[in-house]
Amino acid sequence: MVWHGTVLARFSPALQEKLLAHSEPFQFAAGQTIFEEGSPSLYLYVVKSGRVAIEVHFPAWGRRQILTVSPGEVFSWSALVEPRLETASARALEDTEVLGIKGGELMDLCREDPEFGFQLYRTLAEVITDRLVTTRRQLLEGAAWPQEAATR
């Protein structure tokens, strides 16, 4: 995989090789569920091609899409955070290829190579921060909620 243009491009070539050595490719058809909210989180994913909807369940409104993940972006960092359960669901919006990196193996790499661990968690913290800012904007603009929720 070419890392140029991805959040993982921030890693040195040696660290990119480590990631590739511990990854496996997955393909999902349009509409196929990748994982469900609450299920065990096994992989950190990088989108190679296609798009992935990240969805959460709201009791009053059902499942709602909160984010679209595009090529070069990561999702499912829950694989690196206890209790390692998915906090959202993921569904392929179109035929999609992803690279899955096993969370347990990533944790082992972090313990073996603290510099790698620092780079990985710093990069993920930047991604999470960007997504939180985006979510706040959606909430402030009322775009994330059905119209009836905005009047409650």
Could you report the per-residue pLDDT of 85-144, keeping only the tens digit for each? 999 999 999 999 999 999 999 999 999 999 889 988 988 898 889 888 987 887 777 655
> Looking at the domain assignment, is residue 151 inside a domain?
no
pTM above 0.75, yes or no: yes
> Looking at the domain assignment, is residue 36 inside a domain?
yes
Specify the range with the lowest mean pLDDT, choosing from 9-18, 57-66, 105-114, 136-145. 136-145
Residue 51 pLDDT > 90: yes
Q: Which residue has the higher pLDDT, 3 or 42?
A: 42
- Domain count for the chain, please give it: 1
> Looking at the domain assignment, is residue 61 inside a domain?
yes
Q: What is the DSSP letter of 142?
A: T
> Which residue segment(s) compose the domain that 128 sits in?
7-143
pLDDT in tens, 25-39: 999 999 999 999 999
> Looking at the domain assignment, is residue 83 inside a domain?
yes
Say which residue the tokens 């050595």 belong to. 21
> Looking at the domain assignment, is residue 60 inside a domain?
yes
> Looking at the domain assignment, is residue 2 inside a domain?
no
Structural contact between residues 98 and 90, judged by C-beta atoms closer than 8 angstroms: no
> Looking at the domain assignment, is residue 120 inside a domain?
yes
What's the confidence (pLDDT) of residue 138?
Answer: 74
Say which residue the tokens 């990748």 belong to. 34
Banded model confidence at residue 19, pLDDT cuts 50, 70, 90: confident
Residue 129: which CATH number? 2.60.120.10
List, in order, residues 6 or more apart from 86 with CB less than 8 Å away. 35, 36, 37, 38, 39, 40, 41, 76, 78
> Looking at the domain assignment, is residue 1 inside a domain?
no
Mean predicted confidence (pLDDT) in 37-59: 94
